[in-house]
Amino acid sequence: MSDVSRTALITGAGRGIGRAVALRLAAAGHRVALTARNRDELDETAKLCDGPAIVVPADLTAQGSVDDVFAMVEAEFGPVEILVANAGAGNSAPIARITDLDWQRMLDLNLTAPFRCIRRAVPTMVDAGYGRIVVVASVASKRGEPYIAAYTAAKHGVLGLVRSAAAELARTGVTVNAVCPAYVDTPMTTDTITMIANRTGRSPEEARRLLADKQPIGRLITSEEVADAVWFCVANPGVTGQGINVDGGAIQS
């Protein structure tokens, strides 16, 4: 339990990592504002939270939606003091088959939406002398893999954004970090498993093992393990500008 209850906004909070982060912050005594596109999933997350929680459905890639979400949170809970930019998605295709639409969709969701959230959060955080910004990035922020060029480019970009923002805000009381998971046991990974099975003829079990074996520990990362890393970034004011790997030892840094 934290000594001070603060207002936290979690994007992509309807399921998976976002839900685990919301529960972790709520358990610490913070007020949580939950946003994603699916209201039913958000409502379920809110029911699971221990403490005040509000649901703000939105598509953060839509023009003006970030400002609208922040305004609703501020009206209910006050200024956002903790921002966890978790919303994201991936796609897979050889470079020659990546369409302009696919490329732009990856940039819009994985890079531009977090940028807009950070831009909107920073002024009130700086004025207050306190802020915690955590972007859920990916190990794809630090290495390249075949067939995910658009996703990887966006995730490399968002890690650069985190590092630059952290340097700019270092003396203001605002920290900015990224958490970089490998394959996490979430609905997003389940979708990836289905795609691999459909494209390769492997069974879903074989496809799941293929992804699990990418981590040296031999299993998928859990959402709770990622949420713990997010909490570390929130709780420790001496940590900023970092990309913290939660990947079972895949990238040693």
pTM of the entire predicted model: 0.94
| Closest C-alpha among 43, 63, 62, 38 to residue 54 | 43
| Rounded Cα gap, residues 200 and 14, in angstroms | 30
- DSSP letter, residue 184: B
DSSP symbols for 119-173? HHHHHHHHHHT-EEEEEE--GGGT---TT-HHHHHHHHHHHHHHHHHHHHHTTTT
How many other C-beta atoms are found inside a 10 Å radius of the C-beta of residue 113?
23
| Closest C-alpha among 36, 39, 2, 4 to residue 17 | 36
Spell out the per-residue pLDDT of the chain, length 253, in tens: 667 899 999 999 999 999 999 999 999 999 999 999 999 999 999 999 999 999 999 999 999 999 999 999 999 999 999 999 999 998 889 999 999 999 999 999 999 999 999 999 999 999 999 999 999 999 999 999 899 999 999 999 999 999 999 999 999 999 999 999 999 998 888 888 888 888 889 998 999 998 999 999 999 999 999 999 999 999 999 999 999 999 999 998 7
- DSSP letter, residue 80: -
| Bridge partners of residue 55, in order along the sequence | 34
Token couple for 73: 């949170």
Determine the CATH number of domain 7-182+222-246.
3.40.50.720
| Rounded Cα gap, residues 19 and 15, in angstroms | 5
| Rounded Cα gap, residues 99 and 117, in angstroms | 26
Tell me, what's the pLDDT at 76? Answer: 98
| Closest C-alpha among 248, 234, 242 to residue 24 | 234
Tell me, what's the pLDDT at 21? Answer: 98
**What ranges do the domains of the chain cover?**
7-182+222-246, 183-220
| Rounded Cα gap, residues 189 and 37, in angstroms | 18
DSSP symbols for 38-61? -HHHHHHHHHH-SS-EEE----TT
| Rounded Cα gap, residues 113 and 7, in angstroms | 20
Residues acting as catalytic residues: 151
In what helix (H) or strand (E) does residue 206 lie, and over which residues does it extend?
A: helix 204-212
Tell me, what's the pLDDT at 2? Answer: 67
Tell me, what's the pLDDT at 161? Answer: 98
In what helix (H) or strand (E) does residue 34 lie, and over which residues does it extend?
A: strand 31-35
